[in-house]
Amino acid sequence: MKILNIAAYKFIALDSLPVLRAQLLEALETRQIKGTVLLAEEGINFFLAAPGAAIHDFLAWLQADARFCMLDIKQSRSTAQPFAKLLVKVKPEIIRMNHPAIQPLAGRAPAVDAPTLKRWLDAGQDDAGRQVVMLDTRNGFEADVGTFRNAIDWRLDKFSDFPQAVLDHQGELDGKTVVSFCTGGIRCEKAAIYLKEAGLPNVYQLDGGILKYFEDCGQAHFDGECFVFDDRRAVNAALQPCVDVGASSDKPA
């Protein structure tokens, strides 16, 4: 599998976004890397793919910038390029929630790592003895491809529907330990902050999302595959492509 696929995000204050966009576009085009980069004043979010040497060279260039030196990179392999083109966009948010009060730059909600979550799910409770509920913050069609067993799925059409869904269903979560999850961590990070601000005391985000969970814990407690927004369509618990349909999307998740 000669193509290296990478995904990462970071909430960090960015300015001069048109300049940064031009620099990233040149760096990626020079290395013939395809995929999507989203930039906003709140940070960076990207899904990219190319032969491994090009990706590693780009990451060395990117992480020479102190703002991006601590990126948590999720990696997987594929036999073919899963993206049709390269897009580098400046957006109001790197993941759209339409809720300006939610500012991950001001501090993350507590996170649970994959091995700890697996241990909780094995036991049926967290370390304090509370029932653990998994809350899928992705779109409904993503959950249809695969999700955690018995996860709560509010059938979201888009992530900006999440705040209203919390208002409609908060009673389902009262008195429980809630673990929000998504593909790579960005949506469940904003979601966990919103849940905390809504008054739920025992909320965690799954650190690194499903992709990191697969990397550390495999298939345990997960049914199906993880939907991804490119031509692979989904990856299995070994982070290998399992479906190849349609044209790629330009919406990192």
Examine the domain organization and report whether 175 and 224 are in the same domain: yes
User: For position 211, which CATH number holds?
Assistant: 3.40.250.10
Whether residues 122 and 230 fall in one domain = yes
- Domain with 229, as residue range(s), is 104-243
Q: Is residue 194 one of the residues assigned to a domain? A: yes
Q: For residues 82 and 118, state if they share a domain.
A: no
Domain count, the chain: 2
Q: For the whole prediction, is pTM greater than 0.95?
A: no
- Boundary-marking domain end, from 45, 65, 90: 90
Select from 31, 56, 90 the last residue of a domain.
90
Domain CATH for 7: 3.30.70.100
Does the active-site annotation cover 226? no
DSSP secondary structure letter of residue 117: H
Which listed residue (182, 188, 217, 226) is catalytic?
Answer: 182
Residues 128 and 239 in one domain: yes
Report if residue 97 sits inside a domain.
no
pLDDT in tens, the chain (253 residues): 899 999 999 999 999 999 999 999 999 999 999 999 999 999 999 999 999 999 999 999 999 999 999 899 999 999 999 999 999 999 999 988 877 657 676 677 899 999 999 999 999 999 999 999 999 999 999 999 999 999 999 999 999 999 999 999 999 999 999 999 999 999 999 999 999 989 999 999 999 999 999 999 999 999 999 999 999 999 999 999 975 433 334 444 4
Strand order in the sheet with 241-243: 226-227, 234-235, 241-243
Residues 6 or more apart whose Cβ sits within 8 Å of residue 243: 225, 232, 233, 234
Q: Note whether 71 and 111 are same-domain residues.
A: no
Q: What is the spatial distance between Cα 35 and Cα 54, in angstroms, rounded to a whole number?
A: 13
